[in-house]
Amino acid sequence: MTATLQQAGPAIAAGPAPTPGRRRPRSSATRQRIEVVLLVGPALLLFLGFVILPVILAAVYSLYNLPPAFRWEQLAEPDRFVGLANYQRAFDSPEFVRAIGNNFIILFASLLIQGPLAIGIALLLNRPLRGRTALRLLIFVPYVLAEVIAGLAWKLLLQPQGGVNAMLESLGLGFLQQNWLADPGIALWTLFWILTWKYLGFAIILMLAGLQGVPEELAEAAAIDGASWWQIQRYITIPLLGPTIRIWAFLSMIGALQLFDMVWVTVAPTVRGMATETMATYMVQQGQFAGQPGYGSAIAVILFFISLTVALIYQRVALRRDLAGAVTRGVR
């Protein structure tokens, strides 16, 4: 290897221009390979060590019944290997099944409520408007805030004696007061409101960016043909916004399935267990706090496969056109 390097070196430094017809001399290709190895190697090692290896380990652990803070040697102990019993237990557990349900409620609510809302606001903000930049900025601020800070702020505001109830009271709407985060009947929707507040800005910015790619000429031509503003949006702008909407939906779905931090921060453990448990919080609760790393790993693997399945299906059904176009035609 070293020898190759030494030979390659001078050939490039002093050699004449590459012979026509052979665009890449062999020595240059070797050098390029070494560069790739050296540049990609460290990142690849990190990726293997901190992403791929843990995924494999989780799959292994999920087949065992392990005590908290276990040692490696304990994997070899008799009776530790339980096969698929952890998976069986997960699907038999009403808590976990409910957690999956909560994830999908949030997923569909995000798509059905946040999507149209974001498109609507983006269309409005795309028109000439006084203070448009300031408005866009304000809408994007929640997304920039750290999750924990936003969560804690809402947690304080939504306490029984918190700001939201106080505001309702002073507006004469006292009858609307709720234990927003303490009532298992509404906690999931309170949580969904916080998530919407937090992530709507991101969706709107995406849609606005997508709108920049819609040629104005089309709208002008339609206007000359007598189309109303509504008709232009309905038949021209929104269809052309399709790729952006589909990508946003994809990100939103993945986010909904992996949801953890906002739930963990804002909802008290008791109410979380009753009403807003997600797959990820259930995994941490059981794997870490109930001291069952094997069971927790099984939940992690299930979560992984559910996310993967949803992503693959969505990719085949909805994203195929967008991605295929990008690859085969080489245009954006």
CB-based contact 201:142 (threshold 8 Å): yes
Cα 32 off chain centre by: 35
Give start and end residues of each alpha helix (H) in 225-286: 229-232, 238-240, 242-257, 261-266, 269-271, 279-284
Cβ neighbour number for residue 299 with a 10 Å cutoff: 27
Report, in Å, the least distance between residue 124 CB and another protein: 36
Choosing from 291, 304, 307, 322, the residue that interacts with another protein (CB under 8 A) is 291
Q: Is residue 18 involved in binding another protein (CB under 8 A)?
A: no
Residue 29 CA to residue 24 CA, distance in Å, equals: 7
Q: Is residue 270 involved in binding another protein (CB under 8 A)?
A: yes
Report, in Å, the least distance between residue 191 CB and another protein: 12
Q: Is residue 69 involved in binding another protein (CB under 8 A)?
A: yes
Task: Fill in the per-residue mask, 122 to 151: x = in contact with another protein (CB under 8 A), - = not in contact.
Answer: ------------------------------
Q: Is residue 75 involved in binding another protein (CB under 8 A)?
A: no
CB-based contact 310:257 (threshold 8 Å): yes
Residue 187 CA to residue 179 CA, distance in Å, equals: 8
- Which run of H or E residues covers position 321? helix 320-328
| Number of residues counted as binding another protein (CB under 8 A) | 43
Q: Is residue 70 involved in binding another protein (CB under 8 A)?
A: yes
Q: Is residue 61 involved in binding another protein (CB under 8 A)?
A: no
CB-based contacts of 157: which residues, under 8 Å, 6+ apart?
A: 163, 164
Q: Is residue 167 involved in binding another protein (CB under 8 A)?
A: no
Report, in Å, the least distance between residue 290 CB and another protein: 4
Residue 178 CA to residue 189 CA, distance in Å, equals: 12
Burial class (CB in 10 A: 0-12, 13-18, 19+), 83: exposed
Report, in Å, the least distance between residue 71 CB and another protein: 6
Choosing from 25, 28, 30, 166, the residue that interacts with another protein (CB under 8 A) is 30
Q: Is residue 28 involved in binding another protein (CB under 8 A)?
A: no
Q: Is residue 269 involved in binding another protein (CB under 8 A)?
A: yes
Q: Near another protein by CB under 8 A, which window of 45-53, 106-114, 242-250, 299-307?
A: 45-53
Q: Is residue 68 involved in binding another protein (CB under 8 A)?
A: yes
Q: Is residue 34 involved in binding another protein (CB under 8 A)?
A: yes
Residue 141 CA to residue 118 CA, distance in Å, equals: 15
CB-based contact 199:114 (threshold 8 Å): yes
Residues lying near another protein in the complex (CB under 8 A) are found at 1, 4, 30, 33-34, 37, 41-42, 44-45, 48-49, 65, 67-71, 74, 89, 95, 159-161, 179, 181-184, 187, 267-271, 273-274, 288-292, 295
